[in-house]
Structure 1
Amino acid sequence: MQIYKVGGAVRDRLLGKPVTDIDWVVVGATTEEMLAKGFRPVGADFPVFLHPKSGEEYALARTERKSGRGYGGFTFHASPEVTLEEDLIRRDLTINAMAEDDQQNLTDPYHGQRDLEARLLRHVSPAFAEDPLRVLRVARFAARYAGLGFTVAPETLELMRQLSESGELEALTAERSWKEISRALMEDQPRVFIEVLRECGALKVLMPEVDALFGVPQPEAHHPEIDTGVHTLSVLEQAARHKQPLTVRWACLLHDLGKGLTPEEEWPRHIAHEHKGLKLIKAVNERFKAPKDCQELALLVGEYHTHGHRALELKPSTLLELLQSFDVYRRPQRFEEFIAACEMDARGRKGLEQRSYPQADYLRGAANAARTVAVQPLLEKGFKGPELGEAIKRERLKALKAYKDAASA
């Protein structure tokens, strides 16, 4: 029995990056031997075991062959005869197909170290094209390591293009796709993820609503970058730069989908794009089964981001409707995330990345003004039921009028 550290742990150590997760491969062992040593089995598809003390995952060396469509369409074979090289060849990228023993002796049959130095994301073998999930994984690694100068090797991009055209991407489950998308959006350069997907034709298959934004012009006075797709990537870039959470990044990606529906004869104006985009945002949300908080914020930002930009001009009644829509009294964090998404949208424009956004503090102040309305005095006056609701609304409107007057003074 020989045990090797494999994959990301080896790659990140060689890159000088912190190692978080460690994967282990066991060569020359049987399931019975692992159990005898106290390892606990997990995973129904292939033999993976948890270490009795550390809880880390140890997998028996295995081979695989394509037996069906999609990410799960593989038959695995694990036995003591499977070599380390045979196990490594089934991995996606050369930089993930290295192993080292407990003395840090490197096993690198597919030249991963060379590709690390050349800053290349290159597939290990033609079997790469058997797994459609790898298109998303490579795009995610491109986003993660773009800052270090990594790019996708042309021959790997070509395989990704073939996969995108093959229909295999449609076989991916929503859960697997979302796992890769959500991780990629939280990388330092998530715009690279979208760019790589677009370059290989996968964006058109997975998110045609986002792909449709490229080439759609906007008024230059508000959008010096003009192209709606470029603007969307810039907004996403700002969200990453300002360390926004996943909910905000997802909303930033989807906020302008309605502009993809504008007839060409109406370009570069996009009248009512906020409302038109809601059905598209809903479709993308459902396609990937995004978590509820991501879905809700994306829809709210899509519908109201223009209100955010025009906050200082809004009538007190419109401002109150906006606050009610977000339920700012019980869900203050969601309104904060909306403000953040609006600010990223305002900054995601060529040459305006450093612009101030006074709307943010104004909106926060409005929410606080509405929240200060006390319910108890109204109860004491005898209001109840629907009448109480109307009385609270009147008092909040009064508070917002006073707030607006004070802010304008």
Structure 2
Amino acid sequence: MSTDQTYLVGGAVRDELIGRRNNDRDWVVVGTTPEAMTEAGYRAVGRGFPVFLHPKTGEEYALARAERKTAPGYHGFAVDFDPSVTLEADLSRRDLTINAMARAADGTLIDPFGGHDDLEAGILRHVSLAFTEDPVRLLRVARYAAALAPYGFRIAAETQQLMASMTSDGEIDALVPERVWAETRRALATDEPSVFFYTLRQVGALARLFPELDALFGVPQPVRYHPEIDAGVHTLLVLDQTAQADNPVDCRFAALCHDFGKARTPHAQRPGHAGHEMAGEPLAKALAERLRVPKQTRDLAGLAARWHTHLHRFTKLQANTALDMLEAADALRRPERLESMIAICRADVRGRLGMEQRTYPQAEIARHALAAAQSVDTSAIAATPGLEGPAIGDAVRQKRMDAIAEVLRHPEHLHSHAGGPATTSMDAP
């Protein structure tokens, strides 16, 4: 296998040209066979088509291939990886022109579809009409729009039209939950994840894939607390706040779900949203289950929907309600769950126009309340003469409530740590 038949392709070439970090490098090999790759020491890992791992670097090397659509969905392809398949034929099956470039071993840039020009212009443009044959590409372009938003990229009008047609024609309905979640998870991890969801909304796909989120757009909120008014806009502002804080994907997904219940508020009660927490919890869990997200991600989404306003109003809670929240989060055993809730709630109060720098003193108070509850000596209570069975649990709970009540009675003692007064205008949702 000669080096002049091996090319660096795709995202590695694209990101090198725009100065974006990319640790994943993919290669295409032209004019060879699976047998020759194996003999050269490469390890086969591909299922539908031959992909091999380099024996030293572990990087992926794929045989040049051509594809032909044979059935609906993204599994309906016949793949040809004969040695006669050219590099240009391989590049022509890719989604965007900026991903259809290659670099030869001598450094020569191979760009048969104008990817370099689109890269300089900041345009995400499809390579050919074959783009519409794979519904995953709709999600991938939305994800690229989010990932490259800091570089000023936008989707070409004709590509956006194709994406809209893929939605209206029903091609998007062939997507399976695992693929939707895989692309969503990667989009959530970008610096501007809101762009992913705005893009899907522009092409009609948000209502099909994320109806709980789509339903929030046009739902009003009290302008006193939400200058942005629209609940959908607020939700995506919150999401971007979690990204700016570099919160993990679990928190970002929970932020996306935290206000789903507002879409269920009767029109006569709007712009107020009393009870949206209870209404939102099953919606958050339903989306998570439909996408088959990991259990910890699903649990945090439901937790955020149900309890976020309790954390906002923490200093006004009764001790038993504060303990209910901590127990619902399993925070006494897993204090990191409270930290996740704090991250989501801090993003919630900052995801409002003109309030991006708000402090969140409730965080420090909730931490102290948790520490106080954790300090209760459960072993000593269990050893109390005359206490047995459920009475032990009741006594432990009472002691924890007493400890939390003491913290809530004197929140002013925490001002120096919290960065401001405990009670703020953000007590309201």
The normalised TM-score by structure 2 is: 0.93
Q: 1:385 aligns with which of 376, 383, 389?
A: 389
* SS of 2:67 mapped into structure 1: strand
Identify which range, 109-118 or 378-387, moves more after superposition. Answer: 378-387
> Quick check: 2:143–2:183 contact (8 Å CA) kept in 1?
yes
What corresponds to 1:255 in structure 2?
258
Per the TM alignment, residue 190 of structure 1 is displaced from its structure 2 partner at its CA by 0.4
Q: Provide the identity percentage.
A: 52
Equivalents in 1 of 2:19, 2:411: separation in Å? 51
2:347 is matched with 344
Counterpart residue number, 2:87: 84
Name 2:422's counterpart in structure 1.
Answer: none
Any gaps of 5 or more consecutive residues in structure 1? none
Equivalent residue, structure 2, for 1:22: 25
Give CA-to-partner distance per residue, 1:61-81, whole Å, 9 cap, x none: 000111222222211110111
Q: AA paired with 1:356?
A: T
Paired amino acid for 1:73:
G
Name the CA distance, whole Å, in 1 between partners of 2:239 and 2:21.
Answer: 25
Q: 1:355 aligns with which of 358, 361, 376?
A: 358
Asked if residue 65 in structure 1 is aligned to residue 68 in structure 2, the reply is yes
Q: 1:193 and 1:215 mapped to 2: Cα distance? A: 19
The aligned counterpart of 2:238 is 235
Equivalent residue for 2:409, pick from 389, 405, 409: 405
Match of 1:160 among 160, 163, 167: 163
**What does 1:114-193 correspond to in 2, within 5 Å?**
114-193=117-196
Which SS does the other structure have where 2:377 is aligned?
Answer: coil
My pick for the range that moved more, 68-77 or 80-89, is 68-77
Q: CA shift at 1:265, angstroms?
A: 2.6
Matched, 1:55 2:58: yes
Q: What is the CA–CA distance in structure 1 between the aligned matches of 2:108 and 2:79, rounded to whole Å?
A: 27
1:397 corresponds to which letter in structure 2? Answer: M
SS for the counterpart of 1:277 is helix
**Larger displacement relative to structure 2 (56-65 or 377-386):** 377-386
With 157-166 and 264-273 compared, the bigger mean Cα shift is at: 264-273
Gaps of 5+ in 2: 414-429
Q: Which moved more, 1:37-46 or 1:288-297?
A: 37-46
Alignment partner of 1:204 out of 198, 202, 207: 207
AA aligned opposite 2:390: P
Q: C-alpha root-mean-square deviation of aligned residues, in Å?
A: 1.2
What amino acid does structure 1 have at the position aligned with 2:73? G
Q: 1:408 offset after TM fit, Å?
A: 5.2
More deviation, 47-56/140-149: 47-56
Does the aligned pair in 1 maintain the 2:239–2:255 contact within 8 Å?
yes
CA distance in 2, matches of 1:380, 1:315: 28
Deviation at 1:357, TM superposition (A): 1.1
- The aligned counterpart of 2:311 is 308
Q: 1:77, 1:207 → 2: CA distance?
A: 35
Aligned residue number for residue 394 of structure 1: 398
CA contact (8 A) 2:282 2:302 kept: no
Rounded to whole Å, the distance in 1 between the matches of 2:368 and 2:73 is: 50
Q: Which one of 275, 279, 286 corresponds to residue 282 of structure 2?
A: 279
Scaled by the length of structure 1, the TM-score of the pair is: 0.98
**Alignment length (residue pairs):** 409
